[in-house]
Amino acid sequence: MKKRVIVTAECSEKTKEMLRRCFGETCDLTFDRTPETLGDAEICIGEPRMELVERAECLRWVQMTWAGTDIYTRRAGFPENVMLTNASGAFGRTISEYVLAGILTMYRNFPAYREQQKHAVWQSAGAERTLFGKTVLVLGTGDLGGNVAKRLSGFDTVTVGVRRSKGELPPYFNEVRTFDELDALLPQADVVVGCLPNTPETAGLLSEKRLRSMKKDALLVNVGRGTLLSTDTLARVLADGQLSGAVLDVADTEPLPLSSPLWGMENVLLTPHVSGRGFGHDKGTECLIWEIVTANLTRYLEGKPLHNIVDINRGY
């Protein structure tokens, strides 16, 4: 008997054809971007609304096409009899490129030169910095943090990872420390990169006290989740000259409110949560997402353990 599969994720005609070709004999595939019910589907590929998951009596597995799982893990109600897996491993490459681009953009004063270009001004825009030899604190050492460390290794940085527990030293990190050591680490960092998921443990981790403990010329980059810090608090800290600037792809409220002072700050680079976009943006990332999805679907049909299983209690 065929497995009933509903695909709610964004899906090109080429991808639909691939899924039908690979799984048409074993799965009854339905494609619906905005379903009102998951019906009798056993498997859902995508990110259906929580209420649909709660009401789906036949559902046994949700395979996400995102890495972040907080739409399910940050609220109660995800059914215990439903497995949740994500697409971790698809986004580290493209997001880490964003991180490096953001750091170098701010370090080399590219925004100022862009403004000068508009007015045909040929002169130095002021002091520039090099990333060579800088101490970079990477909050999170998973796929995203690991890829950031890999990209940084070409700049001979001292890259320190921060995570829940020490364990084995991952590749490309000079050392790994734990969250309870964060207060001692922040004052030493030239750059702090947020690569953390949204969990009770990480929400508000960069408090005002901790932001103010950083070097005055330190740069903050956040590409994990906006709940890592308050954007209002960050704006106050930046206004007081406590940091050299920030690169933000995420915010605690998205879209960032028009009233936020961050919009008008020249030392802040803002993007609308696009650093890891695959669908409609980067074909390579999109391909990686579907490779993860199809590999897991194959394993499910063969009765093998799935990859990227999410611990609902941990939040990732």
Lookup: tokens for 49: 């609304």
How far is the C-alpha of 72 from the C-alpha of 76, rounded, in Å? 8
Q: How far apart are CA 98 and CA 27, in angstroms?
A: 37
Phi and psi at residue 166, to the nearest 5°:
-70, -70
Instruction: Please measure the distance between the N-terminal and C-terminal CA atoms of the chain and give it in whole angstroms.
Output: 33
Q: What distance lies between CA 136 and its chain's CA centroid? A: 18
Q: Active-site residue among 114, 254, 281, 291?
A: 254
| Extended strands (E) in the chain | 3-7, 27-31, 43-45, 61-63, 83-85, 135-139, 158-163, 175-178, 191-194, 219-222, 245-248, 268-270
Q: How far apart are CA 264 and CA 260, in angstroms?
A: 8
| Rounded Cα–Cα distance for residues 152 and 222 (Å) | 16
How is residue 81 annotated by DSSP? T
**Both tokens assigned to 280:** 């409609």
Alpha-carbon span 84 to 24, nearest angstrom? 23
Distance CA 213, CA 184 (A): 9
Catalytic residue among 236, 273, 277, 299: 273
Q: How many CB atoms lie within 10 A of CB 304?
A: 10
254 classed as catalytic: yes
DSSP secondary structure, 225-254, as one string: -GGGS-HHHHHHHHHTT-SSEEEES--SSS
Q: Is 181 annotated as catalytic?
A: no
Q: Which of 30, 70, 68 is nearest to 50 (CA)?
A: 70
Active site residue 129: no
- The encoded tokens of residue 191 equal 């750059």
Instruction: With residue 54 as reference, give the H or E element that holds it.
Output: helix 50-55
What is the set of active-site residues? 225, 254, 273
